[in-house]
Protein backbone atom coordinates (compact mmCIF):
# COMPACT_ATOMS: atom_id res chain seq x y z
CA UNK A 1 0.00 0.00 0.00
CA UNK A 2 1.41 3.38 -1.05
CA UNK A 3 1.04 6.01 1.68
CA UNK A 4 1.43 9.70 0.74
CA UNK A 5 0.43 12.73 2.76
CA UNK A 6 -1.48 10.55 5.21
CA UNK A 7 -3.52 8.76 2.56
CA UNK A 8 -3.24 5.13 1.49
CA UNK A 9 -3.30 4.28 -2.22
CA UNK A 10 -3.59 0.67 -3.35
CA UNK A 11 -1.88 1.08 -6.74
CA UNK A 12 1.80 1.94 -7.04
CA UNK A 13 1.43 3.02 -10.66
CA UNK A 14 0.63 6.68 -11.34
CA UNK A 15 -0.42 7.54 -14.88
CA UNK A 16 -0.46 10.68 -16.98
CA UNK A 17 -3.43 11.65 -19.14
CA UNK A 18 -1.75 13.51 -22.03
CA UNK A 19 -0.77 12.49 -25.58
CA UNK A 20 -3.34 9.71 -26.09
CA UNK A 21 -4.85 9.29 -29.58
CA UNK A 22 -8.31 9.95 -28.17
CA UNK A 23 -10.09 10.48 -24.84
CA UNK A 24 -11.69 7.03 -25.15
CA UNK A 25 -8.27 5.37 -25.46
CA UNK A 26 -7.04 7.33 -22.47
CA UNK A 27 -9.95 6.03 -20.41
CA UNK A 28 -9.22 2.45 -21.49
CA UNK A 29 -5.55 2.83 -20.56
CA UNK A 30 -6.27 4.27 -17.11
CA UNK A 31 -8.67 1.44 -16.37
CA UNK A 32 -6.21 -1.19 -17.63
CA UNK A 33 -3.43 0.29 -15.49
CA UNK A 34 -5.54 0.08 -12.32
CA UNK A 35 -3.97 3.42 -11.38
CA UNK A 36 -5.71 5.35 -8.63
CA UNK A 37 -3.80 8.60 -9.18
CA UNK A 38 -3.61 10.37 -12.55
CA UNK A 39 -1.81 13.58 -13.41
CA UNK A 40 -3.69 16.31 -15.25
CA UNK A 41 -2.63 19.61 -16.76
CA UNK A 42 -4.36 22.90 -16.01
CA UNK A 43 -3.83 23.85 -19.66
CA UNK A 44 -5.84 20.79 -20.74
CA UNK A 45 -8.73 21.74 -18.44
CA UNK A 46 -8.68 25.32 -19.68
CA UNK A 47 -8.88 24.31 -23.34
CA UNK A 48 -11.26 26.18 -25.60
CA UNK A 49 -14.49 24.99 -27.11
CA UNK A 50 -15.53 23.04 -24.01
CA UNK A 51 -12.78 20.48 -24.50
CA UNK A 52 -11.51 21.04 -20.98
CA UNK A 53 -14.91 20.43 -19.40
CA UNK A 54 -15.42 17.25 -21.42
CA UNK A 55 -12.01 15.97 -20.38
CA UNK A 56 -12.65 16.75 -16.71
CA UNK A 57 -15.95 14.88 -16.88
CA UNK A 58 -14.13 11.78 -18.16
CA UNK A 59 -11.64 11.95 -15.30
CA UNK A 60 -14.42 12.23 -12.73
CA UNK A 61 -16.15 9.17 -14.20
CA UNK A 62 -12.96 7.13 -13.71
CA UNK A 63 -13.16 7.68 -9.95
CA UNK A 64 -9.41 8.30 -9.60
CA UNK A 65 -7.46 10.77 -7.50
CA UNK A 66 -6.31 13.81 -9.49
CA UNK A 67 -2.76 15.14 -9.24
CA UNK A 68 -2.61 18.43 -11.14
CA UNK A 69 0.81 19.43 -12.47
CA UNK A 70 2.66 22.60 -13.36
CA UNK A 71 4.06 21.16 -16.58
CA UNK A 72 5.68 23.71 -18.86
CA UNK A 73 6.48 26.21 -16.12
CA UNK A 74 9.98 27.73 -16.30
CA UNK A 75 9.90 30.12 -13.34
CA UNK A 76 8.91 30.08 -9.69
CA UNK A 77 6.20 32.69 -10.24
CA UNK A 78 4.69 30.77 -13.15
CA UNK A 79 4.71 27.47 -11.24
CA UNK A 80 3.19 28.96 -8.08
CA UNK A 81 0.48 30.79 -10.03
CA UNK A 82 -0.37 27.66 -12.01
CA UNK A 83 -0.58 25.61 -8.80
CA UNK A 84 -2.91 28.17 -7.22
CA UNK A 85 -5.17 28.10 -10.28
CA UNK A 86 -5.12 24.29 -10.36
CA UNK A 87 -6.26 24.12 -6.74
CA UNK A 88 -9.26 26.24 -7.63
CA UNK A 89 -10.12 24.26 -10.76
CA UNK A 90 -9.60 20.73 -9.47
CA UNK A 91 -10.43 21.26 -5.81
CA UNK A 92 -7.34 19.57 -4.40
CA UNK A 93 -4.25 20.77 -2.51
CA UNK A 94 -2.17 18.09 -4.23
CA UNK A 95 0.21 19.41 -6.88
CA UNK A 96 2.94 17.82 -8.96
CA UNK A 97 5.46 20.64 -8.99
CA UNK A 98 7.57 21.12 -12.11
CA UNK A 99 9.93 24.04 -12.62
CA UNK A 100 11.85 23.38 -15.83
CA UNK A 101 15.35 24.68 -16.48
CA UNK A 102 16.38 23.25 -19.84
CA UNK A 103 14.01 23.09 -22.81
CA UNK A 104 15.88 20.21 -24.49
CA UNK A 105 16.13 17.77 -21.58
CA UNK A 106 13.28 19.20 -19.47
CA UNK A 107 15.64 18.91 -16.51
CA UNK A 108 14.24 20.50 -13.34
CA UNK A 109 15.47 23.88 -12.17
CA UNK A 110 16.39 22.61 -8.72
CA UNK A 111 16.89 26.08 -7.23
CA UNK A 112 13.52 27.30 -8.44
CA UNK A 113 11.95 24.00 -7.43
CA UNK A 114 13.03 24.32 -3.81
CA UNK A 115 11.86 27.94 -3.66
CA UNK A 116 8.47 27.16 -5.19
CA UNK A 117 8.02 24.11 -2.95
CA UNK A 118 8.57 26.27 0.13
CA UNK A 119 6.04 28.85 -1.01
CA UNK A 120 3.39 26.25 -1.85
CA UNK A 121 3.75 24.19 1.33
CA UNK A 122 3.34 27.35 3.39
CA UNK A 123 0.10 27.92 1.48
CA UNK A 124 -1.16 24.47 2.42
CA UNK A 125 -0.30 22.55 -0.75
CA UNK A 126 0.74 18.91 -0.68
CA UNK A 127 3.70 19.08 -3.04
CA UNK A 128 4.97 16.22 -5.23
CA UNK A 129 8.22 17.69 -6.64
CA UNK A 130 9.62 16.47 -9.96
CA UNK A 131 13.33 16.55 -9.16
CA UNK A 132 16.71 15.02 -9.89
CA UNK A 133 18.33 12.28 -7.81
CA UNK A 134 20.69 14.79 -6.13
CA UNK A 135 20.88 14.15 -2.38
CA UNK A 136 21.36 17.81 -1.46
CA UNK A 137 18.34 18.88 -3.49
CA UNK A 138 16.29 16.11 -1.93
CA UNK A 139 17.23 17.24 1.56
CA UNK A 140 16.27 20.83 0.81
CA UNK A 141 12.92 19.80 -0.65
CA UNK A 142 12.13 17.83 2.49
CA UNK A 143 13.15 20.81 4.62
CA UNK A 144 10.85 22.97 2.49
CA UNK A 145 7.94 20.76 3.54
CA UNK A 146 7.67 18.11 0.85
CA UNK A 147 6.75 14.65 2.17
CA UNK A 148 7.38 12.80 -1.09
CA UNK A 149 10.09 13.04 -3.75
CA UNK A 150 9.77 12.26 -7.46
CA UNK A 151 13.23 11.92 -9.04
CA UNK A 152 13.44 11.42 -12.77
CA UNK A 153 14.57 8.13 -14.25
CA UNK A 154 15.57 9.85 -17.49
CA UNK A 155 14.40 12.93 -19.45
CA UNK A 156 10.63 13.12 -19.93
CA UNK A 157 9.46 11.08 -22.89
CA UNK A 158 12.94 9.69 -23.66
CA UNK A 159 12.11 6.03 -22.85
CA UNK A 160 15.70 5.53 -21.68
CA UNK A 161 14.80 3.91 -18.38
CA UNK A 162 16.97 4.46 -15.30
CA UNK A 163 19.93 6.58 -16.40
CA UNK A 164 21.58 6.76 -12.98
CA UNK A 165 20.91 3.59 -11.01
CA UNK A 166 23.66 4.45 -8.52
CA UNK A 167 22.11 7.84 -7.79
CA UNK A 168 18.62 6.40 -7.41
CA UNK A 169 19.89 3.65 -5.13
CA UNK A 170 21.76 6.21 -3.01
CA UNK A 171 18.64 8.36 -2.72
CA UNK A 172 16.66 5.37 -1.50
CA UNK A 173 19.35 4.49 1.05
CA UNK A 174 19.66 8.05 2.39
CA UNK A 175 15.91 8.56 2.81
CA UNK A 176 14.52 5.14 3.76
CA UNK A 177 11.29 6.49 5.25
CA UNK A 178 10.40 9.02 2.53
CA UNK A 179 7.98 7.95 -0.23
CA UNK A 180 9.97 7.97 -3.48
CA UNK A 181 8.40 7.85 -6.94
CA UNK A 182 10.44 7.45 -10.12
CA UNK A 183 8.93 9.99 -12.50
CA UNK A 184 9.68 10.25 -16.22
CA UNK A 185 11.85 8.49 -18.75
CA UNK A 186 10.50 4.95 -18.43
CA UNK A 187 9.92 3.27 -21.77
CA UNK A 188 9.07 -0.39 -21.18
CA UNK A 189 7.67 -2.37 -18.24
CA UNK A 190 11.09 -3.77 -17.31
CA UNK A 191 12.20 -0.21 -16.49
CA UNK A 192 9.35 0.08 -14.00
CA UNK A 193 10.16 -3.30 -12.48
CA UNK A 194 13.79 -2.25 -12.07
CA UNK A 195 12.75 0.91 -10.22
CA UNK A 196 10.53 -1.06 -7.88
CA UNK A 197 13.28 -3.61 -7.25
CA UNK A 198 15.46 -0.73 -6.01
CA UNK A 199 12.88 -0.16 -3.29
CA UNK A 200 11.03 2.75 -4.82
CA UNK A 201 7.47 3.15 -3.68
CA UNK A 202 5.87 3.87 -7.05
CA UNK A 203 6.46 5.02 -10.62
CA UNK A 204 4.78 7.71 -12.68
CA UNK A 205 4.70 7.56 -16.47
CA UNK A 206 2.76 8.82 -19.43
CA UNK A 207 4.45 8.71 -22.84
CA UNK A 208 5.35 5.01 -22.72
CA UNK A 209 1.67 4.14 -22.46
CA UNK A 210 0.05 6.96 -24.43
CA UNK A 211 2.31 6.54 -27.46
CA UNK A 212 2.31 2.72 -27.51
CA UNK A 213 0.61 0.92 -30.37
CA UNK A 214 -1.92 -0.43 -27.88
CA UNK A 215 -2.03 1.92 -24.88
CA UNK A 216 -4.41 -0.23 -22.83
CA UNK A 217 -2.28 -3.34 -23.27
CA UNK A 218 0.87 -1.42 -22.39
CA UNK A 219 -0.81 0.05 -19.32
CA UNK A 220 -1.72 -3.44 -18.17
CA UNK A 221 1.86 -4.60 -18.76
CA UNK A 222 3.23 -1.75 -16.65
CA UNK A 223 0.78 -2.58 -13.86
CA UNK A 224 2.04 -6.16 -13.79
CA UNK A 225 5.67 -5.03 -13.88
CA UNK A 226 5.18 -2.65 -10.94
CA UNK A 227 3.53 -5.41 -8.93
CA UNK A 228 6.28 -7.89 -9.81
CA UNK A 229 9.06 -5.44 -8.98
CA UNK A 230 7.57 -4.55 -5.60
CA UNK A 231 7.00 -8.20 -4.73
CA UNK A 232 10.60 -8.99 -5.67
CA UNK A 233 11.92 -6.16 -3.48
CA UNK A 234 9.87 -7.33 -0.50
CA UNK A 235 11.10 -10.90 -1.06
CA UNK A 236 14.69 -9.72 -0.35
CA UNK A 237 16.48 -10.76 -3.58
CA UNK A 238 19.97 -12.24 -3.58
CA UNK A 239 22.93 -9.97 -4.34
CA UNK A 240 24.84 -10.15 -7.61
CA UNK A 241 28.26 -11.84 -7.52
CA UNK A 242 31.17 -12.22 -9.90
CA UNK A 243 31.65 -16.00 -9.66
CA UNK A 244 29.33 -18.94 -10.11
CA UNK A 245 27.62 -20.51 -7.10
CA UNK A 246 26.50 -24.10 -7.71
CA UNK A 247 22.86 -24.74 -7.02
CA UNK A 248 23.40 -28.50 -6.77
CA UNK A 249 25.36 -29.70 -3.70
CA UNK A 250 28.50 -31.74 -4.38
CA UNK A 251 28.15 -33.80 -1.17
CA UNK A 252 27.49 -37.40 -2.11
CA UNK A 253 28.61 -36.91 -5.69
CA UNK A 254 29.69 -40.14 -7.40
CA UNK A 255 33.34 -40.37 -8.52
CA UNK A 256 34.35 -42.69 -11.35
CA UNK A 257 37.86 -44.13 -11.62
Ordered DSSP codes for 33-84: HT-SEEEEEHHHHT-GGGHHHHHHHHHHHHTPEEEEE-TT--SHHHHHHHHH
Catalytic residue positions, numbered:
96
| Residue 157 annotated as part of some ligand binding site | yes
CA dist 220 to 167, 214, 216, 234, Å? 28, 10, 6, 21
Nearest C-alpha neighbor of 72 from the set 94, 115, 48, 101: 101
Q: Sign of the CA dihedral 35, 37, 39, 40? A: positive
Residue 207 known to bind ligand: yes
State how far Cα 74 lies from the chain centre: 20
CB atoms within 10 A of CB 166: 9
Q: Is 185 annotated as a binding residue?
A: yes
Instruction: List CB contacts of 161: < 8 A, sequence separation 6 or more.
Output: 153, 154, 185, 186, 187, 188, 190, 191, 194
Beta-carbon contacts of residue 178 (< 8 Å; ≥ 6 apart): 142, 147, 148, 149
Instruction: Name the DSSP letter for residue 184.
Output: S
What's the rounded Cα separation, in Å, for the pair 7 and 24?
Answer: 29
Annotation: binding site for 1-deoxy-D-xylulose 5-phosphate = 157, 184-185, 206-207
- Annotated binding-site ranges: 157, 184-185, 206-207
Amino acid sequence: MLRVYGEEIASRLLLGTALYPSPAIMVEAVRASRAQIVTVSLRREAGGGGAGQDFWALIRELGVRVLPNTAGCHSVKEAVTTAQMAREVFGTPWIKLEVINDAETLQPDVFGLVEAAGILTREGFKVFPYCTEDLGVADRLLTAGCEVLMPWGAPIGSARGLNNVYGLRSLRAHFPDVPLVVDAGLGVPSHAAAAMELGYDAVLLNTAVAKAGDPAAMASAFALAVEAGRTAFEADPIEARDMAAPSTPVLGKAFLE
